[in-house]
Structure formats: C-alpha cells, structure tokens
Structure 1
Amino acid sequence: MHNPCKVCFWPASEENGICDLCQQEIIEYSIPKDLLDLFVLDTSHVCCICYDKISSSSLSDCTTCSTKYHSSCLNQWRVQSKRCAVCRKEI
C-alpha cells in the first residue's frame, strides 16, 4: 500500500514520499531541496477530488492507497466510478 507522491500523486516510496520518476528528475536536474519544497504539496489534509481542506469529521479514504477524500466528494465520485481517483484501484 503506497501513499501518493508529494509532487505528482503517483504511488510514492515509503522512504521519502516521492515517486521513482520524480526522484530521478530531482537527481538529474539537481533541484535544490528548498526549491522543491515550494512545489511539494502536503496532501495529508486535502481532498484529492476537490483539493479543499478536510476536517476529520468529513474524512473518507481509499483502502488501497490511503488517499483522503471528503465523504460527500467520494459519494459523488462513486456515482461515476468505482475506482480511486488516484491509484485507480476499486474502492
């Protein structure tokens, strides 16, 4: 079970929270960490459907990748798709 990458939302490594492709780009282009921090999103409290902040009372998550959603957003999403918006596995 992987969390989404802090840069692009693909499955990330457990070690640093960044996917292999983004890690390669960072190394290849030698992006300084302080500059990278400007682009890295903290998605731990953000709905991955509407991108608004989530309070603990309205929280739902994907059982496969632990992506966070508002319960209402996830309910609307499920009308159109039975798959996670990030990892695309069935929820």
Structure 2
Amino acid sequence: MSGLLAVQQIIGMLVQVLVMLIIIQFVIGLLFAFNVVNTSNQFLMQVYQSINTLLDPILRPIRKIMPNTGAIDFSPLVLILGLNILLIIVDAAIYG
C-alpha cells in the first residue's frame, strides 16, 4: 500500500509542476500581450520559450482536437482539467 501512496504523491507533484508551468506561461504571455514587459526582455523571453518548448508536446494534441476559438487558446485549461481528473482517478483507485 505504501508503494501506491508513493506513486500517488509523485503523480500529484508532477501535476502541480505542470499546472504551475501553465500558469507562468499564461502570465508571461499576458505581460507580453499587453506590453507590460517588452519582448526584448531576454530573460523573460527565454523563460517563456523554454516553458513553451516543455508544454507544446502536451498541448499540441489538445489543440488539434479542440475547435478554433480565434485568439483565445483553451488548451491549457483543458490540460489542467484533464490533470485534475487524472488525480481523482488515481485517488479513487488507491482509496477506492
């Protein structure tokens, strides 16, 4: 049983990291979009590109399935919901 709890904690930690990366990507994107921070800021641009490089393989399949909504990208929200559903399923499987 303790092995399953360890797996649950590892999955929970990975989900938290992914959600934080999605939120950071969203906030930096807003800062760039509303010209609060200039895109010539090399540090933020590299952070943003690094996070995009990490998240793009996960978000790309979701973007292909979702309908085009114009300027608003709902794929990060769908990913966060999917990750939370995964946590619920893992919890139900362990404590079930």
The answer to whether the superposition gives a TM-score over 0.5 is: no
Larger C-alpha radius of gyration, 1 or 2? 2
TM bin, normalised by shorter chain, reads under 0.3
Higher helix share: 2
The TM-score normalised by the length of structure 2 is 0.26
Q: Which has the higher contact order (CA 8 A, sep 6+)?
A: 2
